[in-house]
Protein backbone atom coordinates (compact mmCIF):
# COMPACT_ATOMS: atom_id res chain seq x y z
CA UNK A 1 0.00 0.00 0.00
CA UNK A 2 1.52 3.39 -0.98
CA UNK A 3 2.23 5.96 1.72
CA UNK A 4 1.07 8.92 -0.42
CA UNK A 5 -1.82 9.20 -2.86
CA UNK A 6 -1.46 11.97 -5.45
CA UNK A 7 -4.86 13.07 -6.76
CA UNK A 8 -4.92 14.97 -10.07
CA UNK A 9 -8.34 16.36 -11.06
CA UNK A 10 -8.25 17.03 -14.81
CA UNK A 11 -10.51 18.78 -17.29
CA UNK A 12 -9.31 19.04 -20.89
CA UNK A 13 -5.91 20.71 -21.66
CA UNK A 14 -4.09 17.41 -22.36
CA UNK A 15 -0.81 19.22 -23.14
CA UNK A 16 -0.78 20.73 -19.64
CA UNK A 17 -1.68 17.44 -17.98
CA UNK A 18 1.22 15.72 -19.76
CA UNK A 19 3.72 18.21 -18.27
CA UNK A 20 2.08 17.95 -14.84
CA UNK A 21 2.33 14.15 -14.79
CA UNK A 22 5.95 14.32 -15.92
CA UNK A 23 6.78 16.59 -12.94
CA UNK A 24 4.99 14.25 -10.53
CA UNK A 25 6.76 11.16 -11.83
CA UNK A 26 10.15 12.87 -11.27
CA UNK A 27 9.70 12.89 -7.48
CA UNK A 28 12.73 11.85 -5.41
CA UNK A 29 10.37 10.16 -2.93
CA UNK A 30 8.94 7.10 -4.66
CA UNK A 31 6.34 5.49 -2.37
CA UNK A 32 3.26 7.05 -3.95
CA UNK A 33 0.37 6.33 -6.29
CA UNK A 34 -1.10 8.73 -8.86
CA UNK A 35 -4.83 8.96 -9.55
CA UNK A 36 -5.94 11.06 -12.54
CA UNK A 37 -9.64 11.88 -12.29
CA UNK A 38 -10.94 12.95 -15.70
CA UNK A 39 -13.88 15.24 -14.94
CA UNK A 40 -15.74 14.72 -18.22
CA UNK A 41 -13.03 15.91 -20.63
CA UNK A 42 -12.79 15.35 -24.37
CA UNK A 43 -11.69 11.77 -25.23
CA UNK A 44 -8.08 12.69 -26.12
CA UNK A 45 -7.24 13.40 -22.47
CA UNK A 46 -7.15 9.68 -21.78
CA UNK A 47 -4.25 9.19 -24.20
CA UNK A 48 -2.02 11.39 -22.03
CA UNK A 49 -1.67 8.70 -19.33
CA UNK A 50 -0.65 5.93 -21.77
CA UNK A 51 3.14 6.47 -21.30
CA UNK A 52 2.66 5.86 -17.55
CA UNK A 53 0.44 2.81 -17.88
CA UNK A 54 0.80 0.76 -14.70
CA UNK A 55 2.05 3.80 -12.77
CA UNK A 56 -0.98 6.09 -13.10
CA UNK A 57 -4.54 5.05 -12.29
CA UNK A 58 -7.00 6.73 -14.65
CA UNK A 59 -10.66 7.33 -13.81
CA UNK A 60 -13.30 9.06 -15.91
CA UNK A 61 -16.49 10.56 -14.46
CA UNK A 62 -19.25 12.94 -15.49
CA UNK A 63 -18.35 16.59 -15.15
CA UNK A 64 -19.00 17.82 -11.63
CA UNK A 65 -16.28 20.37 -10.92
CA UNK A 66 -12.93 20.25 -9.06
CA UNK A 67 -14.43 19.37 -5.66
CA UNK A 68 -16.29 16.41 -7.13
CA UNK A 69 -13.12 15.19 -8.88
CA UNK A 70 -11.01 15.52 -5.71
CA UNK A 71 -13.61 13.67 -3.66
CA UNK A 72 -13.77 10.91 -6.26
CA UNK A 73 -9.99 10.55 -6.02
CA UNK A 74 -10.04 10.54 -2.21
CA UNK A 75 -12.63 7.75 -2.20
CA UNK A 76 -10.42 5.55 -4.39
CA UNK A 77 -7.05 6.37 -2.84
CA UNK A 78 -5.06 4.19 -0.44
CA UNK A 79 -2.36 6.44 1.04
CA UNK A 80 -2.16 7.71 4.61
CA UNK A 81 -1.19 11.08 3.11
CA UNK A 82 -3.16 12.77 0.32
CA UNK A 83 -1.50 15.23 -2.05
CA UNK A 84 -3.37 17.27 -4.64
CA UNK A 85 -2.00 18.55 -7.91
CA UNK A 86 -4.13 20.48 -10.38
CA UNK A 87 -3.68 19.36 -13.97
CA UNK A 88 -1.98 22.62 -14.98
CA UNK A 89 0.56 22.97 -12.13
CA UNK A 90 4.09 21.58 -11.81
CA UNK A 91 5.88 20.06 -8.82
CA UNK A 92 9.54 20.41 -7.91
CA UNK A 93 11.27 16.97 -7.70
CA UNK A 94 11.65 17.11 -3.90
CA UNK A 95 8.10 18.26 -3.09
CA UNK A 96 6.78 15.02 -1.60
CA UNK A 97 10.05 14.41 0.25
CA UNK A 98 9.79 17.80 2.00
CA UNK A 99 6.19 17.21 3.04
CA UNK A 100 7.03 13.74 4.32
CA UNK A 101 9.87 15.16 6.42
CA UNK A 102 7.45 17.63 8.03
CA UNK A 103 4.75 15.08 8.78
CA UNK A 104 7.26 12.66 10.28
CA UNK A 105 8.73 15.45 12.41
CA UNK A 106 5.28 16.71 13.48
CA UNK A 107 2.79 13.85 13.26
CA UNK A 108 0.05 15.97 14.83
CA UNK A 109 -0.01 18.21 11.73
CA UNK A 110 -3.04 17.46 9.56
CA UNK A 111 -2.25 19.80 6.67
CA UNK A 112 1.07 21.05 5.30
CA UNK A 113 1.49 23.53 2.48
CA UNK A 114 4.43 25.13 0.70
CA UNK A 115 5.31 28.26 -1.14
CA UNK A 116 4.57 28.36 -4.86
CA UNK A 117 6.08 30.27 -7.78
CA UNK A 118 3.42 31.85 -10.00
CA UNK A 119 4.47 31.59 -13.66
CA UNK A 120 3.10 33.33 -16.72
CA UNK A 121 4.22 32.44 -20.24
CA UNK A 122 4.17 36.16 -21.05
CA UNK A 123 5.93 37.47 -17.93
CA UNK A 124 7.89 34.46 -16.67
CA UNK A 125 8.21 33.55 -12.96
CA UNK A 126 7.06 35.89 -10.21
CA UNK A 127 8.16 36.08 -6.55
CA UNK A 128 7.27 33.09 -4.39
CA UNK A 129 3.98 33.14 -2.44
CA UNK A 130 2.97 33.26 0.35
CA UNK A 131 5.76 35.36 1.90
CA UNK A 132 7.98 33.82 4.57
CA UNK A 133 6.20 35.88 7.24
CA UNK A 134 3.82 32.90 7.39
CA UNK A 135 5.16 30.61 10.08
CA UNK A 136 3.88 27.62 12.01
CA UNK A 137 0.13 28.07 12.27
CA UNK A 138 -0.62 25.26 14.71
CA UNK A 139 -4.02 25.53 16.34
CA UNK A 140 -4.45 29.18 15.27
CA UNK A 141 -4.87 28.29 11.60
CA UNK A 142 -8.59 29.14 11.56
CA UNK A 143 -8.04 32.75 12.65
CA UNK A 144 -5.12 33.16 10.25
CA UNK A 145 -6.97 31.69 7.28
CA UNK A 146 -10.07 33.71 8.04
CA UNK A 147 -8.03 36.90 7.63
CA UNK A 148 -6.36 35.76 4.42
CA UNK A 149 -5.98 32.38 2.76
CA UNK A 150 -2.22 31.87 2.28
CA UNK A 151 -2.61 28.69 0.21
CA UNK A 152 -2.19 29.86 -3.37
CA UNK A 153 -3.21 26.56 -4.95
CA UNK A 154 -4.32 23.15 -3.73
CA UNK A 155 -1.25 21.79 -5.55
CA UNK A 156 0.79 23.09 -2.58
CA UNK A 157 -1.15 20.98 -0.05
CA UNK A 158 -0.70 17.58 1.57
CA UNK A 159 -3.25 16.38 4.13
CA UNK A 160 -3.54 13.29 6.29
CA UNK A 161 -6.30 10.75 5.85
CA UNK A 162 -7.02 11.18 9.55
CA UNK A 163 -7.81 14.87 8.86
CA UNK A 164 -10.30 13.87 6.16
CA UNK A 165 -11.97 11.45 8.55
CA UNK A 166 -12.43 14.30 11.06
CA UNK A 167 -13.50 17.09 8.71
CA UNK A 168 -15.14 15.31 5.79
CA UNK A 169 -14.49 16.02 2.11
CA UNK A 170 -14.74 19.00 -0.26
CA UNK A 171 -18.06 20.83 -0.67
CA UNK A 172 -19.26 19.93 -4.17
CA UNK A 173 -21.75 22.82 -4.25
CA UNK A 174 -18.78 25.18 -4.65
CA UNK A 175 -17.27 25.24 -8.14
CA UNK A 176 -14.13 27.28 -7.55
CA UNK A 177 -13.88 28.19 -3.85
CA UNK A 178 -14.23 24.65 -2.54
CA UNK A 179 -10.59 24.59 -1.46
CA UNK A 180 -10.89 27.80 0.59
CA UNK A 181 -13.91 26.41 2.44
CA UNK A 182 -12.18 23.09 3.00
CA UNK A 183 -8.99 24.58 4.46
CA UNK A 184 -11.12 26.63 6.88
CA UNK A 185 -13.10 23.55 7.89
CA UNK A 186 -9.96 21.46 8.32
CA UNK A 187 -8.39 24.17 10.45
CA UNK A 188 -11.11 23.64 13.06
CA UNK A 189 -10.02 20.01 13.45
CA UNK A 190 -6.24 19.70 12.92
CA UNK A 191 -3.06 21.82 13.17
CA UNK A 192 -1.50 23.22 9.98
CA UNK A 193 2.15 23.87 9.15
CA UNK A 194 4.03 25.74 6.44
CA UNK A 195 7.06 24.72 4.38
CA UNK A 196 8.96 27.91 3.67
CA UNK A 197 10.34 27.04 0.25
CA UNK A 198 8.81 26.96 -3.24
CA UNK A 199 7.79 23.43 -4.22
CA UNK A 200 5.18 24.18 -6.90
CA UNK A 201 5.02 26.18 -10.11
CA UNK A 202 1.54 27.68 -10.36
CA UNK A 203 0.78 28.39 -13.99
CA UNK A 204 -1.23 31.52 -14.76
CA UNK A 205 -3.32 31.32 -17.91
CA UNK A 206 -6.70 32.32 -19.31
CA UNK A 207 -8.29 29.04 -18.24
CA UNK A 208 -7.68 29.52 -14.50
CA UNK A 209 -11.03 29.16 -12.73
CA UNK A 210 -9.91 31.58 -10.03
CA UNK A 211 -10.10 34.48 -12.49
CA UNK A 212 -13.93 34.49 -12.47
CA UNK A 213 -14.43 37.19 -9.84
CA UNK A 214 -18.24 37.10 -9.92
CA UNK A 215 -18.33 33.39 -9.08
CA UNK A 216 -15.66 33.84 -6.41
CA UNK A 217 -17.62 36.68 -4.79
CA UNK A 218 -20.83 34.67 -4.67
CA UNK A 219 -19.18 31.54 -3.32
CA UNK A 220 -17.20 33.35 -0.63
CA UNK A 221 -20.39 34.99 0.64
CA UNK A 222 -21.92 31.51 0.86
CA UNK A 223 -18.84 30.25 2.71
CA UNK A 224 -19.00 32.97 5.37
CA UNK A 225 -22.72 32.41 5.85
CA UNK A 226 -22.02 28.69 6.30
CA UNK A 227 -19.19 29.39 8.77
CA UNK A 228 -21.40 31.70 10.80
CA UNK A 229 -23.88 28.84 11.30
CA UNK A 230 -21.25 26.32 12.44
CA UNK A 231 -22.25 24.67 15.72
CA UNK A 232 -19.72 24.99 18.51
CA UNK A 233 -18.19 28.18 17.15
CA UNK A 234 -17.16 30.37 20.07
CA UNK A 235 -18.33 33.96 20.50
CA UNK A 236 -15.00 35.50 19.45
CA UNK A 237 -14.67 33.19 16.42
CA UNK A 238 -18.23 33.97 15.35
CA UNK A 239 -17.53 37.70 15.66
CA UNK A 240 -14.40 37.24 13.54
CA UNK A 241 -16.43 35.43 10.88
CA UNK A 242 -19.01 38.23 10.88
CA UNK A 243 -16.24 40.84 10.49
CA UNK A 244 -14.65 38.90 7.60
CA UNK A 245 -18.06 38.44 6.02
CA UNK A 246 -18.63 42.19 6.17
CA UNK A 247 -15.22 42.97 4.61
CA UNK A 248 -16.01 40.63 1.76
CA UNK A 249 -19.40 42.29 1.26
CA UNK A 250 -17.60 45.62 0.87
CA UNK A 251 -15.25 44.05 -1.65
CA UNK A 252 -18.27 42.79 -3.58
CA UNK A 253 -19.79 46.29 -3.47
CA UNK A 254 -16.63 47.66 -5.12
CA UNK A 255 -16.82 45.04 -7.85
CA UNK A 256 -20.50 45.76 -8.56
CA UNK A 257 -19.96 49.53 -8.67
CA UNK A 258 -17.02 49.02 -11.02
CA UNK A 259 -19.21 46.93 -13.32
CA UNK A 260 -22.18 49.31 -13.17
CA UNK A 261 -24.40 46.82 -11.33
CA UNK A 262 -26.12 49.44 -9.19
CA UNK A 263 -29.02 47.35 -7.89
CA UNK A 264 -26.69 44.55 -6.75
CA UNK A 265 -24.35 47.08 -5.09
CA UNK A 266 -27.28 48.55 -3.15
CA UNK A 267 -28.41 45.13 -1.96
CA UNK A 268 -24.91 44.20 -0.79
CA UNK A 269 -24.26 47.45 1.08
CA UNK A 270 -27.59 47.10 2.90
CA UNK A 271 -26.53 43.63 4.02
CA UNK A 272 -23.16 45.00 5.20
CA UNK A 273 -24.96 47.68 7.24
CA UNK A 274 -27.09 45.00 8.90
CA UNK A 275 -23.93 43.07 9.81
CA UNK A 276 -21.96 46.06 11.15
CA UNK A 277 -24.28 49.06 11.63
CA UNK A 278 -21.78 50.98 13.79
CA UNK A 279 -18.79 50.52 11.48
CA UNK A 280 -17.50 53.84 10.09
CA UNK A 281 -15.99 52.00 7.14
CA UNK A 282 -19.32 50.42 6.27
CA UNK A 283 -21.06 53.79 6.56
CA UNK A 284 -18.44 55.35 4.24
CA UNK A 285 -19.11 52.63 1.70
CA UNK A 286 -22.83 53.23 2.11
CA UNK A 287 -22.39 56.92 1.31
CA UNK A 288 -20.11 56.15 -1.64
CA UNK A 289 -22.61 53.63 -3.01
CA UNK A 290 -25.48 56.11 -2.69
CA UNK A 291 -23.48 58.83 -4.47
CA UNK A 292 -22.30 56.54 -7.29
CA UNK A 293 -25.78 55.15 -7.85
CA UNK A 294 -27.27 58.66 -7.80
CA UNK A 295 -24.78 59.89 -10.40
CA UNK A 296 -25.39 56.82 -12.54
CA UNK A 297 -29.15 57.41 -12.31
CA UNK A 298 -28.75 61.05 -13.37
CA UNK A 299 -26.56 60.03 -16.31
CA UNK A 300 -29.09 57.39 -17.37
CA UNK A 301 -31.90 59.96 -17.11
CA UNK A 302 -29.98 62.41 -19.31
CA UNK A 303 -29.50 59.70 -21.92
CA UNK A 304 -33.21 58.84 -21.78
CA UNK A 305 -34.19 62.53 -22.14
CA UNK A 306 -31.95 62.94 -25.19
CA UNK A 307 -33.45 59.87 -26.85
CA UNK A 308 -36.98 61.00 -26.00
CA UNK A 309 -36.60 64.52 -27.43
CA UNK A 310 -34.34 63.68 -30.37
User: Is 53's pLDDT higher than 50?
Assistant: yes
Same domain, 203 and 177: yes
What pLDDT score was predicted for residue 308?
38
Same domain, 174 and 289: no
What pLDDT score was predicted for residue 310?
43
pLDDT in tens, 141-188: 888 888 888 999 999 999 999 999 999 999 999 998 999 999 999 999
User: Is 304's pLDDT higher than 60?
Assistant: no
Maximum Cα interatomic distance, the chain, rounded to a whole number of Å: 79
Same domain, 203 and 223: no
User: pLDDT-based confidence at 305, cuts 50/70/90?
Assistant: very low
pLDDT in tens, 213-236: 888 899 999 999 999 999 888 888
Give the residue from 191, 211, 231 where a domain finishes.
211
Give the residue from 180, 211, 242 where a domain finishes.
211
Same domain, 197 and 248: no
Q: What is the C-alpha to C-alpha distance for residues 310 and 298, in angstroms, rounded to an integer?
A: 18
Please report, for the domain that includes residue 164, its CATH number.
Answer: 3.90.550.10
Give the residue from 190, 211, 232 where a domain finishes.
211
* Domains contained in the chain, number: 2
Asked whether 184 and 226 are in contact (CB, 8 A), the reply is no
Same domain, 217 and 83: no
**DSSP characters over the chain:** --SEEEEEEE-S-HHHHHHHHHHHHT-S---EEEEEEEES--GGGGGGGGGGBTTEEEEEE----HHHHHHHHHHT---SEEEE--TT-EE-TTHHHHHHHHHHH-TT--EEEEEEEEEETTTEE---BS-TT----BTTHHHHHHH------GGGEEEEHHHHHHH----TT-SSSHHHHHHHHHHTTS-EEEEEEEEEEEEE-TT-GGG-HHHHHHHHHHHHHHHHT-TT--HHHHHHHHHHHHHHHHHHHHHHHHTT-HHHHHHHHHHHHHH-TT-HHHHHHHHHHHHHHHHHHHHHHHHHHHHHT-
Residue 90, strand partner residues: 201
pLDDT in tens, 263-280: 899 999 999 999 999 999
Q: In which domain, by residue range, is 265 found? A: 213-308
Same domain, 207 and 218: no
- 0.85 surpassed by pTM: yes
Amino acid sequence: MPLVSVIVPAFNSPHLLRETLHSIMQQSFRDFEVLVVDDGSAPELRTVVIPWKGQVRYFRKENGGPASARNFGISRSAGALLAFCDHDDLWFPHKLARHLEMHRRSPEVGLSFSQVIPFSSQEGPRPALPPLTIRSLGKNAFASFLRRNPIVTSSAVVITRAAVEKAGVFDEDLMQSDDTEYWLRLSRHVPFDFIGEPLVTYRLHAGNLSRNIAVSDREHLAIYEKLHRWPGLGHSARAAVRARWTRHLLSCVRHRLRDGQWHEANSLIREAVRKKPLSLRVRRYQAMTWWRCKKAGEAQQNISDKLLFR
